[in-house]
Amino acid sequence: LPGGTRPAALAHVCRCVARRAERSVVAAAAIDAAAAGPQARRYLNRLSDLLFVIARVLARGVDGGGQEVYWRSARLRGQLG
CA-CA distance, 61 to 7, in Å (whole number)? 10
Confidence of residue 69 (pLDDT cuts 50, 70, 90): low
Query: Among 58, 75, 72, which Cα is nearest to 13's?
Result: 58
Contacts of 15 (CB under 8 A, 6+ apart): 48, 51, 52, 55
pTM passes above 0.85: no
SS3 helix, strand, coil % of the chain, rounded to 5? 60, 0, 40
State mean pLDDT over 42-52: 96
Q: What are the structural domain ranges in the chain?
A: 6-60
Q: Give pLDDT, residue 70.
A: 65
User: In the prediction, which pLDDT does 59 show?
Assistant: 86
